[in-house]
């Protein structure tokens, strides 16, 4: 997993974060902001963890593993007409088809960002199908209990059959889902201790907790 202590908060000269504005406390606002940044970093760490377990595979592209297979050049056009590459989180090649996967650590998604990601997945799908390939698109929420939870989190953006759990992803590529989940818990105790120690350094909050 990742550590809260390794995440950086806002610099002193920067404006107050939304968390500071909510609480009126700079130290607490900074701590919550760093906590949130760590959650985001955990998503990147997930892909790195999966990549390490798939080293040597030719049929899977994720992270820097077979990276060229998940980058599609000049496939997306912006409002000014400029061409952009599309990077897919994971591309899996089976005997019969290509599976394009967007990988999320959480299960509640930013609607605008998710819509753009799904658009990119479908652009690549259409491109590959034009080359005669059979293609599936999957939106994977690694820690979701089931596909229904993912569909709710995506707020109606997903087509039927597009949602994928982490367990299903692991089964597809031959990894042990439960083992990965347990391995990612290894930093929980240090993060909890770190959080407790930093809270102790906020006098105003400690005073509230005493009452």
Q: Give CA–CA dist 86/72, Å, rounded.
A: 5
- 60 strand-pairing partners: 92
Q: What is the predicted pLDDT for the residue at 151?
A: 94
| Confidence band, pLDDT 50/70/90 cuts, at residue 175 | very high
Q: Give exposure, 137-176, as e/b (b: 16+ Cβ within 10 Å).
A: bbbbbbebeebebbbebbeebbeeebbbbbbbbbebbebe
- On whether both 73 and 165 belong to a single domain, the answer is yes
The model's pTM is 0.87
The reply to whether 43 and 26 lie within a common domain is yes
| Count of domains observed in the chain | 2
- Residues 6+ away with beta carbon under 8 Å from 130: none
Whether residue 121 contacts residue 100, with contact meaning beta carbons closer than 8 Å, is answered with yes
Domain hosting residue 202, numbered range? 1-54+187-211
The Cα 102–Cα 139 span in angstroms is 5
Q: What's the pLDDT band for 36 if we cut at 50, 70, 90?
A: confident
Mean pLDDT of 71-94: 95
Q: Do 36 and 77 have their domain in common?
A: no
Query: Are residue 15 and residue 85 in the same domain, yes or no?
Result: no
What is residue 143's DSSP assignment? Answer: T
Model pLDDT, residue 145: 95
Structure confidence by residue, pLDDT tens digits, 188-205: 999 999 999 999 999 998
Give the chain's radius of gyration (CA, Å).
20
- Based on the fold, state whether residues 65 and 50 are members of the same structural domain: no
Q: Is 74 left (phi over 0), alpha (psi -120 to 50) or beta?
A: left
Q: Please give the pLDDT value at position 127.
A: 97
The predicted-structure confidence for 100-131, as pLDDT tens digits, reads as follows: 999 999 888 888 999 999 999 999 999 999 99
* 138 located within any domain: yes
* 132 or 37, which is more confident: 132
pLDDT exceeds 80 at position 166: yes
Question: Which whole number is the average pLDDT over 28-34?
Answer: 89
Looking at the structure, tell me whether residues 80 and 40 fall in a common domain.
Answer: no
Read off φ and ψ for residue 63, nearest 5 degrees. Answer: 60, -130
């Amino acid at each position: 997993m990742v550590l809260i202590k390794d995440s950086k908060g806002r610099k002193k000269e920067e404006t107050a974060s939304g968390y500071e504005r909510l609480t009126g406390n700079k130290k607490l606002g900074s701590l919550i902001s760093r906590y949130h940044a760590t959650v985001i970093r955990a998503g990147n760490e997930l892909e790195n963890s999966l990549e390490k377990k798939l080293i040597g595979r030719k049929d899977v592209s994720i992270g820097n593993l077979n990276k060229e297979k998940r980058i599609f050049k000049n496939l997306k056009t912006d409002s000014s007409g400029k061409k952009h590459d599309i990077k897919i989180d994971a591309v899996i090649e089976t005997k019969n088809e290509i599976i394009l996967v967007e990988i999320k650590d959480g299960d509640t998604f930013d609607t605008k960002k998710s819509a753009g990601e799904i658009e990119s997945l479908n652009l690549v799908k259409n491109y590959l199908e034009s080359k005669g390939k059979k293609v599936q698109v999957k939106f994977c929420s690694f820690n979701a209990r089931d596909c229904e939870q993912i569909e709710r989190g995506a707020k109606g953006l997903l087509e039927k059959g597009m949602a994928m759990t982490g367990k299903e992803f692991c089964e597809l590529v031959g990894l042990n889902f439960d083992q990965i989940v347990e391995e990612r818990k290894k930093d929980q105790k240090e993060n909890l201790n770190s959080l407790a120690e930093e809270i102790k350094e906020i006098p105003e909050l400690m005073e509230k907790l005493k009452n």
